[in-house]
Amino acid sequence: MKDSQGHILYVGKAKSLKKRIQTYFQNTKTHSPKIKKLVAHLKDFDTIQTDTEFDAFMLECHLIKEIKPHYNRMMKSPQSFAYLVIDSHKKVRKIEVSNQITDIDNSFIFGPFTSRSLVERAINGIKDCFKINCAFSTIKNSACLNYSLGTCNGVCLGGKAVEEYNAIIDRLIGFLNRTDMSLIEEMQQMMHQASEEFNFEAATKYRDWIDTVSLLLKKEKVIEFTEKNHNIIIVERLDDTSIKMFLVKRTQVLFSEIYQMNNKSTDQLIEAIKLNAQVYFLNHELKESYDVSRDEIDEAQIIYSYLNSPNCHSVIIKDQWLKPKNSSTLDKELLKIILAL
């Protein structure tokens, strides 16, 4: 979407371009001020047709990062990513949600997360659920307001309450590391107990807290998957006679090609895909594992979501399969996804 000077205001994708454009000019009373301003400055469109929705997602992402249109704020702003930092060198462990991370001794850092508000809601939910929502950041030897409201266990007063508080934070760290699920299990027990006591308002609160806290792990799964630097072959059917194949490494599409299935036997198709995989994957080496950067998180989410959607068939390729002596294993894996199309 462009203004009268040809400046790009917004980049977006649509399965139906007509329906997408209509949404900007219909029911304008319900539009946000941002959309109303965009429509007021909108004078022209450019369109790019892609082969698949995956192509559209990746192209949209790259164009936004390259052009940085004024109305595409989420993808172009590094401030849209958040980290959960637990500083454990103090007597009362401090939990902070930050858009910046620095190396701190004795600290645990989780993320990046795509939604700061999600992380804040999850932490506030844990604090409320386990009554550790102290209004003070340190021990004051006097009760905070939340203590009188029943949402603080008395960590502000010191003593045994500090140990209880830190024990819960240890369980939170274990939960985020996927080594200790007791925190979420206890929250589930609280929800069931409230329900059995017909306290449905409390049960609903517990359910909402559980859902929000659980989402923290879902976000982490994207990061964990991406850091393994997988070689991925993705195959998607375009129509009755053609397919499109993508070779993906970590967050990069190294190569893509459309194949006409009616002109190739299955063996020929497998051989063509395999040769490209050997060339591109073996010539694109990465370190064994390194943290996902903010610049990669958008592509990481697109790839991870696409692999877990019904729109494609994919296989993760081990490095040893790319060597000629083990190519028969690669043949078998490619045959599986082609037959599944």
Instruction: Extract the tokens encoding 247.
Output: 């070779």
CA atoms within 13 A on the CB side of 271: 5
* CA 256 to each of CA 259, 261, 276, 321: distance values in angstroms, whole numbers, following the listed order: 10, 16, 9, 20
pLDDT surpassing 80 at residue 54: yes
Nearest to 254 by CA among 309, 317, 311, 320: 317
pLDDT surpassing 90 at residue 183: yes
Stretch (H or E) spanning 85: strand 82-87
The predicted model gives 171-199 an average pLDDT of 93
Burial bucket for residue 178 (CB in 10 Å: 0-12, 13-18, 19+): exposed
pLDDT band at 103 (very low <50, low <70, confident <90, very high): low
**What span, in angstroms and rounded, lies between the C-alpha atoms of 209 and 190?**
11
pLDDT surpassing 90 at residue 158: no
Of 74 and 329, the one with more pLDDT: 329
**What span, in angstroms and rounded, lies between the C-alpha atoms of 28 and 16?**
20
Task: Encode pLDDT of 212-232 as tens digits.
Answer: 999 888 777 888 889 889 999
Under a CB-based contact definition with an 8 Å cutoff, are residues 64 and 57 in contact? no
Torsion of CA 284, 286, 288, 292, to 10 degrees: -130
The predicted model gives 313-318 an average pLDDT of 93
Location of structure tokens 């996902």: 292
Q: How far is CA 336 from the centre of its chain?
A: 28
CA atoms within 13 A on the CB side of 309: 13
Task: Encode pLDDT of 225-278 as tens digits.
Answer: 898 899 999 999 999 889 999 999 999 999 999 998 877 788 899 999 999 999
pLDDT band at 111 (very low <50, low <70, confident <90, very high): confident
Under a CB-based contact definition with an 8 Å cutoff, are residues 229 and 292 in contact? no
Question: What local confidence, expressed as pLDDT, does residue 66 receive?
Answer: 92
**What span, in angstroms and rounded, lies between the C-alpha atoms of 102 and 85?**
10
**What span, in angstroms and rounded, lies between the C-alpha atoms of 283 and 119?**
39
Q: Give Rg (Cα) of the chain.
A: 25
Cα angle at 229 between 245 and 266, to 5 degrees? 25
Average pLDDT for the chain: 87
What b/e readout covers 261-283, taking b as 16+ CB neighbours within 10 angstroms?
Answer: beeeeeeebbeebbebbbebbee
Question: What local confidence, expressed as pLDDT, does residue 80 receive?
Answer: 61
Question: What local confidence, expressed as pLDDT, does residue 293 receive?
Answer: 77
Residue type at 311 in one-letter notation: N
Q: What proportion of the chain, given as a percentage, has pLDDT over 70?
A: 94
Pairing of the two strands 107-113 and 231-237 = unpaired
pLDDT surpassing 70 at residue 134: yes
Which residues, at least 6 apart from 20, have a Cβ–Cβ distance to it below 8 Å?
A: 12, 14
Give whichever of 46-50, 142-146, 286-290 has the largest mean pLDDT.
Answer: 46-50
Question: What local confidence, expressed as pLDDT, does residue 79 receive?
Answer: 53
Residue type at 119 in one-letter notation: V
Task: Encode pLDDT of 68-95 as tens digits.
Answer: 998 886 544 545 678 899 987 778 888 8
pLDDT surpassing 80 at residue 285: no
Question: What local confidence, expressed as pLDDT, does residue 74 receive?
Answer: 53
Q: What is the layout of strands, in order, in the sheet containing 252-260? A: 252-260, 242-249, 231-237, 313-317
Task: Encode pLDDT of 89-102 as tens digits.
Answer: 778 888 888 877 66
Stretch (H or E) spanning 179: none
Question: What local confidence, expressed as pLDDT, does residue 296 receive?
Answer: 86
Residue type at 176 in one-letter notation: L
Question: What local confidence, expressed as pLDDT, does residue 234 receive?
Answer: 94
pLDDT surpassing 80 at residue 316: yes
